[in-house]
Amino acid sequence: MEPFVYPDAAHERRHGPIGYSQHESYRPWLRDDFTFRCVYCLARERWHKGHYGFQVDHLIPKAEAPTRALKYGNLVYACEACNKMKSDADGIPDPCAVAYRDCLKVHENGSIVALNAEGQMLVAVLRLDNAENTEFRRLTFEVISLARTRDPAIYAQLMGLPEDLPDLTRKRPPGGNSRPEGIEESWRARRARKELPEIC
């Protein structure tokens, strides 16, 4: 099920901004790093109202690890629904340490199956198998399948990247950037070099 195929490897962070005093300041870096989609349910900005429906999520909750609240390595990009469901739950498998494809599989009818204990944890905490999530995946899959056969331009919009790719060259994290080379690999830099894939 193409729109809901989880990554087959643990996510490797491209960016390493340091020292912001607000977690919101990490948002453009996270959008780029996690390719403008929710790391947990794979919903894309383009299927919602752009990045307004998405949030900076603390992998280990602030209450559990206050010193990591502003550390980039503890932040991921998540949709509002997943962020809310997760709330203060601890122990969620880190998508940068675990390949989610080993944990979760989505079928064309929208149902989701946990493939291992980590998958069970993700499904249980994020309620990925509730009626709303299941129906969202089923309908999204139907719409994208229709677009693929009937309207390539709409299909490219649904499966492509948003227009407002963040310009990370202009960002100056107060504590520097542990992976400055990542900026050259940002989606905006790749678009400038005409390397952007139409479907992503």
Residue numbers of the site for Zn ion (CB under 5 A)?
38, 40-41, 43, 79, 82
Beta strand spans in 1-145 (E): 54-58, 75-79, 104-106, 112-114
Report CA-CA distances (Å) from 104 to 54, 66, 97, 114.
21, 30, 15, 5
**Residue closer to Zn ion, measured from CB, 82 or 125:** 82
**Residue closer to Zn ion, measured from CB, 41 or 56:** 41
Q: Could you tell me the smallest distance in angstroms from the CB atom of residue 45 to Zn ion?
A: 11
* CA–CA dist 57, 96 (Å, integer): 14
Q: Could you tell me the smallest distance in angstroms from the CB atom of residue 57 to Zn ion?
A: 9
Q: Could you tell me the smallest distance in angstroms from the CB atom of residue 83 to Zn ion?
A: 8
Q: What residues contact 98, with CB distance under 8 A and at least 6 apart?
A: 10, 118
What is the three-class DSSP state of 77? Answer: strand
Q: Could you tell me the smallest distance in angstroms from the CB atom of residue 133 to Zn ion?
A: 8
Task: Using alpha carbons only, give the angle 183, 178, 174 rounded to the nearest 5 degrees.
Answer: 90
* CA–CA dist 112, 160 (Å, integer): 23
**Residue closer to Zn ion, measured from CB, 40 or 100:** 40
**Residue closer to Zn ion, measured from CB, 83 or 177:** 83
**Residue closer to Zn ion, measured from CB, 38 or 122:** 38
Q: Could you tell me the smallest distance in angstroms from the CB atom of residue 107 to Zn ion?
A: 18
